[in-house]
Amino acid sequence: MKIERTIKYEADRVKGFGDEVSSVPGCEKLQACIQCGTCSGVCPLSIYMDYSPRQVMAMVRSDFKNEVLTSHTVWLCASCYQCTVDCPREIRITDIMYELKQRALQEGIYPKKFSIPVLAKEFYKMVYRYGRVSENLLAMTMFLKSSPLEALKMWRLGLGLILRGRFPLTLEKIKRRDELGRMMKVVDQVKINKLHDELKQARQHVAARSQA
Amino acid sequence: MDKPSKQTVRIGFYICHCGSNIAAMVDCPAVARFVGTLPHVVLSRDYKYMCSDPGQELIQKDISEHQLNRVVVASCSPLLHEHTFRGAVEAGGLNPFFFHMVNIREHDSWVHTDPAEATAKAKELAHAAIMRVAMHKALEVKKVPVHPDVLVVGGGIAGIHAALTLANAGKKVFLVEREPSIGGHMAQFDKTFPTLDCAACILTPKMSAVGTHPNITLLSYSEVTKLDGYVGNYTATVKRKPRYISEDKCTGCQECIANCVYKEPKFPDEFNEGLGKRKPVYIPFPQATPQVVVIDPQTCLNFRNGELTGKCKKSCVAACGDKEAIDFSQTETFQELKVGTVIVTTGFQAFDAKRMPQYGYGKFPNVYTALEIERLVNTSGPTAGHVVLRDGKTEPRSIGIIHCVGSRDKKTNRWCSRVCCMFSLKLAHLLKEHTGAEVYNFYIDMRAPGKGYEEFYDKLLEEGVHFIRGRVGEVTDWARTPDEEGKLVIRVEDTLAGYVRRIPFDMVVLATGLEPHADAQDVRRMLNMSCGSEGFFLERHPKLAPVSTFTEGIFLAGCCQGPRDIPDTVAQAGAAAAEALALIDKGFIEQEPNTAFILEDECCGCKSCIPLCPYTAITFDAANKKAVINEALCKGCGTCVAACPSGTIVQNLFDDEEIFSEIEGVLAHE
Amino acid sequence: MTTKYSYFPGCSLKGIGRAYEESLLPVLRALDVELEELEDWNCCGATAYMAIDEVKACVLASRNLAMAEKLGHKELVAPCSACYLVLNKTKHYLQDSPAVRGVIEKALAEVNMTYSGNTPVRHPLDVMIHSIGLDAIKQRVKRPLTGLKVAPYYGCQIVRPYSTFDDQYNPTTMDRLLEAIGCTIVHFPLKTRCCGASLTGTLPEPGLLCARDILAEAITRGADLIATVCPLCQFNLDGYHDKIAKKWGPHRIPTVYFTQLMGLAFGLGERELGLHRGFVPMQPLPAPVPVGVGV
């Protein structure tokens, strides 16, 4: 049995994390949470979670960034939107889970043994490259990258799909693939510009402070 | 007191800090210095609390020491303190209308975030007031007598208590109730929290007192359809619905019910929330007041689709014999009542549990509302107090009570209904007592802030009732484990233990919240009141005028103003009765002189103003071919003034000179 | 007269969900509805993509929306629940969030496209019930599926988070549709519970448990099969029976598309409708009672 301290000190918080998340479009109502537990009560996956969705809301609000981003909960969210529909405070919990997934990927602090982040990344890459997803190819890539042993165990399913004509052996792709690339670049540029603006503001803020 | 010429105008200006309410955003000394430089301003002060006694005395002293003849106070809303300052001005020896008030709190400091701009705005508003007050004229307050009779609308516990209080003080009361009996929701309750005394035992004596009181005229099965007039002199029109029984002749012997052609009760009984049955001719419940039978034309065989057909053999008429109380020829009638004041006690309706399909009400027979359980545990209820499931025989071994159904939920009703935690505890206690079942309460936050309430919660904890902090996700008949088969399963996060749980129950009770009646908006319009955003009637001030409305002489009590329990309702009903008494015993009301009047010589008789007046205060004098304004009815809204094509309607306190000067004052600041 | 809609098949309908397309197109054709596939459509930006970048997912979806608008048919049909949701979600973002709209418009302009926000996105179930109508469907029935007991399974993303064409807690459009072609609908409390499809590939246990619960409940309620409206649900409920059996014992019950059942009722062939592509095969229907003989 491993005994660990569970107390949290102020230094354990990443101050501003909660505010940051709740400033993202779709996540604004996070601050209105009354911790009633409806989200956990209706979530079909909450039985597997290390922190219930309700706890995740509280943890985000209290800036426990590292604990949230390394938790299993965000990766267990299957995006069925039951919590979002039932929340009495109209918090879009599913969208907050998406936001947390994105942050975990950006910062690379998701639970390492999970293959979901790998799937998400491969999915993203495949769409970027071909414009469409060939599901079986995606699954194979994912298994090869995360757990090759698992991939071997999937041979029966793969064979079954081939036999039933559900495993197209040609790669699905769109014709004007350059269009997607250009569109994504626009999004990246907007983000970079926004980041620059934020940086500029932060610098001005610091400068103003040091003057004062 | 004639209007002083411009040369003699001497204005005193006072700006109030209102603690930090104003001073934190507006630079009060700077505003005072600025106003001091304006023409006719003799002195200009800033002061911490102008509404305090020293503040008011300051005004009085200055009036005599500096020969002021106009006063301006810049502070909060005139709704709060115009009356106070006019009083101070009058005490200082001036006509109270040589005063003007500027609202720099609600209109300025509370709604702005930039101190420099807020201060600039305060200066503009003050400047406008200074320009305006110079034009003010002396006005006189008129007195109108108050009719001593009172109308109480709604015969629940609030209406009953208000009516009795007034009647005992010797006032005549008309109590109008739309159901066949008074008693309201309280009559349906079994016990009352936290003392567990029987609701009927404490309510029935009051109901019969209403029935027999010489000063109370009870108009049951009736609705107010119109209210005309003004404070002190209202005329109410009351619709009396036909009960097909003469109230004067019926003795309450109930022979007609016993002899109805329906041998067995067949129709869902409203009083028992549909859990019991009644005949088409019935008395709502044993203690009903008045003890008069009612015939329901929707179910009586003598009617079809509510229309009289005469096709029943009418054994009820024979049973009534020479009392001849049954009268199928009755029709809707209307009655006019003259009263001076009105108390509105129309109550609430319970939230419709079907609006939350995830809890399965209406789908699963053994999901109940709290009101149904009140009837089920009641000895005079449909099962004589025997708690059984809807099959009529099985006693529940496990019961889950879900709190906050239709409360604290942005998708249904946002507010806390205040009474559900306590009535859920009460029902938990009663259900456990009646059945010995395991009883669970599922709550978000336990709210027990009344006298003896927390102690009641303690008692329940000790009794072994289970409490789980978590809002229930769903009630389902999907069984995951063998012990869930055939049960209603509640899925919930036990937020304190930190587990998601599934718990099977035989019976689920929904603590449905309180909401305004579906027709509350119609009542509001009819009585010329306001509603809050949630639809409850709005009190004049949440703290200082909790039973008054924005219409003079109309008072509120009970759940029509917002959810509350019986003690609070009774206290409010007493307060409303006292407010009405205060008006009646004073004998007159003073009327704000900001009314409109017609410069008779100039009226061209075009009548354009007449249909526009929302208070029907304008009539036409056919002999002189001129419009005439009834000052007592005029509320000073100004609609006719703006509409008059010849400009012959003038309104006190809002004449052209006053308004244009005010505008000039604001515009002086570009 | 034939009515035309734009058609966004989505990736699954070209792969594991082929049978959905194979049954959807002929059934609609039988009802005088033609679907015109968007030329050069791209991935909708669904669940896994949302996890990487929500704005980019919306941009992906908006390219499809823009192409649909250009195609000129009034409405766009998206049979996959995930596509249906992402396309609708993008429309909501365009309406509610000026920031996201700004980015989307910029990205579309880069490739000379525009989207005005019109073109409603509709699910085939919605089109069948609300545009074609049960009467027209009943008229096409040649072989009513009398006696076939069906558990109607709607899954999550066509009823949530947006309530578009059916009740969010107790949807009934598919119930009514299947009743119209002769099926018997069993009481099914898990109609809208998540099937776990987005997890099964990566976190087998939770994903499979979701599927098991749905299969088990359908069996308990006496259903012969489960009808579904989404390729991901179909695959998740149909593709992992051996794994589920290993963990929790056999739960064999077929899962088919509602369009396949309609096709059968319309007298189309089983192979034509892609029924041979399922892992758990549907039991052959009893021979139709010849018209006019006995009863």
Q: Are C170 and B476 inside 8 Å of each other by CB?
A: no
Integer Cα distance of A8 and A14 in angstroms: 12
Span C74-113, pLDDT tens digits: 899 999 999 999 999 999 989 888 888 999 999 999 999 9
Contact C167 B357 (CB under 8 A): yes
Number of independent structural domains in chain C: 2
| C-alpha B206, offset from chain centre | 22
Whether B3 has a pLDDT exceeding 50, the answer reads no
C-beta separation of C9 from C41 below 8 A = yes
The contacts of residue B3 (CB under 8 Å, 6+ apart) are B137, B138
pLDDT at B1 over 90: no
Contact list in A for residue C11 (CB cut-off 8 A) is 132-135, 172
* Whole-number Å distance between alpha carbons of B259 and C106: 81
Percent of chain C with pLDDT over 90: 79
Question: What's the rounded mean pLDDT across residues C30-34?
Answer: 96
- The arithmetic mean of pLDDT across residues B384-396, rounded, is 96
Of the pLDDT bands very low, low, confident and very high (cuts 50, 70, 90), residue A210 is: low
C152 falls within a domain: yes
Q: Quick check: C288 pLDDT over 90?
A: no
Pairwise CA distance, residues C64 & C60, whole Å: 7
Tell me the nearest-neighbour CA distance from C156 into chain A, angstroms. 5
* Distance from the C74 Cα atom to the nearest Cα atom in chain B, whole angstroms: 32
Domain CATH for C86: 1.20.1050.140
A82 contacts: CB under 8 Å, gap ≥ 6: A42, A43, A44, C156, C160, C192, C193, C194
Is C295 part of a structural domain of the chain?
Answer: no
Q: Would you mind telling me the total number of residues written for chain B in this entry?
A: 670
Q: Give the residue from B478, B480, B491, B500 with the most C CB atoms within 10 Å of its CB, the best one to mutate.
A: B478
C225 occurs within a structural domain: yes
Flag if B357 and C170 touch (Cβ within 8 Å): yes
Distance of CA C59 to the CA centre of its chain: 23
A125 CB neighbour count, 10 Å cutoff: 13
What phi and psi, each to the nearest 5 degrees, are found at residue C240? Answer: -120, 25
Q: Decide if B500 and A52 are in contact by the 8 Å CB cutoff.
A: yes
Residue located via tokens 């099959």:
B391
How many other C-beta atoms are found inside a 10 Å radius of the C-beta of residue C70? 14
Residue count of chain A = 212
Is B39 in a helix, a strand, or coil? coil
At B253-274, the pLDDT tens digits run: 999 999 999 999 999 999 999 9
- Residues C83 and C169 grouped into a single domain: no
Average pLDDT over chain B, rounded to an integer: 95
pLDDT at B79 over 90: no
pLDDT of C295 reads 38
Q: Is the pLDDT of residue B445 over 50?
A: yes
| For range A138-165, the mean pLDDT | 76
State pTM to two decimals. Answer: 0.87
pLDDT band at C287 (very low <50, low <70, confident <90, very high): low
* DSSP H helices in C172-222: 173-180, 197-200, 204-220
Is the same domain home to C15 and C69?
Answer: yes
Express each pLDDT in C218-241 by its tens digit. Answer: 999 999 999 999 999 999 999 999
Over range A204-209, report the average pLDDT.
71
Average pLDDT of span B450-478: 97
Beta strands B398-405; B507-512: pairing state: parallel
Choose from A36, A43, A46 for mutation: most chain B CBs within 10 A: A36
Statement to judge: residues C117 and C146 lie in one domain: no
Q: What is the mean pLDDT of residues B269-288?
A: 95
> Residue B394: left if φ>0, alpha if ψ -120 to 50, beta else—which one?
beta
Please give the Cα distance from B645 to B640 (Å, whole number). 10
Nearest to B118 by CA among B28, B35, B36, B34: B28
Here the tokens at position B374 are 């009140």
* Residue C102: Cβ within 10 Å count: 11
Distances B324 to B220, B248, B256, B316, B394 between C-alpha atoms, Å: 20, 10, 11, 10, 45
Q: Which residues pair with B440 in a beta bridge?
A: B400, B466
Hey, is the C-beta of B472 within 8 angstroms of any chain A C-beta?
yes
Whole-number pLDDT of residue B592: 85
Q: Which residues of C touch A26 (CB under 8 A)?
A: 54, 97
pLDDT of residue A169: 73
**CA–CA separation, B161 vs A24, rounded Å?**
53
Confirm if B349 and B517 have CB atoms less than 8 A apart: yes
Exposed (0-12), middle (13-18) or buried (19+): which is A208, by Cβ within 10 Å? exposed
Residues within 8 A of A (CB atoms), B 499-538 only = 500
pLDDT band per the 50, 70, 90 thresholds, residue C117: confident
| Residue C129: inside a domain | no
Residue C22 and residue C111 in one domain: yes
Could you say which of B411, B473, B498 has the minimum Cβ distance to residue A42?
Answer: B473
Mean pLDDT of C122-145: 96
With a CB-CB cutoff of 8 Å, which residues 38-67 of chain C face chain A? 40-43, 45, 47-56, 59-60, 63
CATH code for the domain in which residue C214 is found: 3.40.50.11810
**C157 contact residues in A (CB cutoff 8 A):** 79-81
* Burial class (CB within 10 angstroms; exposed 0-12, middle 13-18, buried 19+) of A58: middle
Q: How confident is the model at residue C46 (pLDDT cuts 50, 70, 90)?
A: confident
Within 8 A of B477 by CB-CB distance, chain C residues are 189
Identify all chain C residues contacting A127, using CB atoms and an 8 Å cutoff. 42-43, 45, 49, 60
More confident residue, A129 or B352: B352
Q: Could you tell me if C43 and C49 are in contact, meaning their C-beta atoms sit under 8 angstroms apart?
A: yes
Residue among B138, B136, B132 nearest B102 (CA): B132
Residues 6+ away with beta carbon under 8 Å from B144:
B230, B231, B232, B233, B588, B589, B591, B632
Question: Domain for residue C127, yes or no?
Answer: no
Please provide the average confidence, as pLDDT, over all residues in chain C.
92
Residues C201 and C112 in one domain: no
Tell whether C293 is covered by a domain: no
Rounded Cα gap, residues B319 and B256, in angstroms: 5
Whether the predicted pLDDT of C289 surpasses 60: no
Q: State which of C122, C151, C177 marks the end of a domain.
A: C122
Residues C211 and C261 in one domain: yes
Residues C9 and C95 in one domain: yes
**Which of A44, A165, A186 is closest, CB to CB, to C107?**
A186
Beta-carbon contacts of A79 under 8 Å, excluding residues fewer than 6 positions away, are A94, A97, A98, C47, C50, C156, C157, C198
Query: For B569-609, how does the pLDDT look when each residue is reduced to its tens digit (9 = 90+)?
Result: 999 999 999 999 999 999 999 888 999 999 877 898 999 99
For residue A48, what is the nearest residue in chain B, using CA coordinates? B500
Report pLDDT for B116: 96
> Which DSSP letter does residue B633 get?
T
As for the ipTM of the complex, it is: 0.89
| B607: number of Cβ within 10 Å | 12
Mean pLDDT of B532-561: 95
List, in order of start, the domains of chain A with CATH numbers. Answer: 13-108 (1.10.1060.10), 115-188 (no CATH)
Residues C197 and C114 occupy one common structural domain: no
For residues C130 and C62, what is the distance between their CA atoms, to the nearest angstrom? 25
Contact B477 C189 (CB under 8 A): yes
CB-based contact (8 Å) between B137 and chain A? no
Whether the per-residue pLDDT at A204 is higher than 80: the answer is no
- C175-212 confidence digits (pLDDT tens): 999 999 999 999 999 999 999 988 887 888 999 999 99
pLDDT tier, C294 (very low <50, low <70, confident <90, very high otherwise): very low
Using the beta-carbon criterion (under 8 Å), do A81 and C40 form an inter-chain contact? no
Q: What percent of chain A has pLDDT over 70?
A: 92
Q: Read off the pLDDT of residues A53-104 as tens digits, 9 standing for 90 and up.
A: 999 999 999 999 999 999 999 999 999 999 999 999 999 999 999 999 989 9
Neighbouring C-beta atoms of residue C136, cutoff 10 Å: 14
Give the A:B interface size as CB pairs under 8 Å.
63
**C84 & C152 share domain:** no
Average pLDDT over residues C27-49: 90
Size of interface A-C (CB pairs under 8 A): 187
Nearest residue, CB atoms, C213 vs list B358, B363, B480: B480
Kindly indicate the confidence band of residue B2, based on its pLDDT and cuts at 50, 70 and 90: very low
Q: Are residues C148 and C118 in the same domain?
A: no
CA distances from C124 to B452, C41, C121 (A): 59, 18, 10
Buried b (16+ CB within 10 A) or exposed e, B334-360: eeebebbbbbbbbbbbbbbbeebbbbb
| Chain B residues with beta carbon closer than 8 angstroms to that of C190 | 478
The three-state secondary structure class of C152 is strand
What torsion, rounded to 10 degrees, do the Cα atoms C237, C238, C240, C246 define? Answer: 90
Pair (C114, C147) in one structural domain: no
Q: Classify each residue of B253-273 as buried b or exposed e, where b means 16 or more C-beta atoms within 10 Å of its C-beta.
A: ebebbebbebeebebebbbbb
Whether C169 is covered by a domain: the verdict is: yes
- Provide φ and ψ at B408, rounded to 5°: 55, 35
Q: In which domain, by residue range, is C56 found?
A: 3-122
Judged by DSSP in three states, C204 sits in helix
pLDDT at A209: 67
Co-location of C33 and C152 in the same domain: no
Q: Averaged over B241-261, what is the pLDDT? A: 95
**Domain annotation covers residue C287:** no
> How confident is the model at residue B590, as a pLDDT?
87
- Contacts of residue C292, defined as CB under 8 A and 6 or more positions apart, other chains included, come to none
- Per-residue pLDDT of B5-31, as tens digits, reads 555 899 999 999 999 999 999 999 999
Q: Enumerate the residues of chain C whose CB falls inside 8 A of the CB of residue A121.
A: 52
- Amino acid letter at B487? K
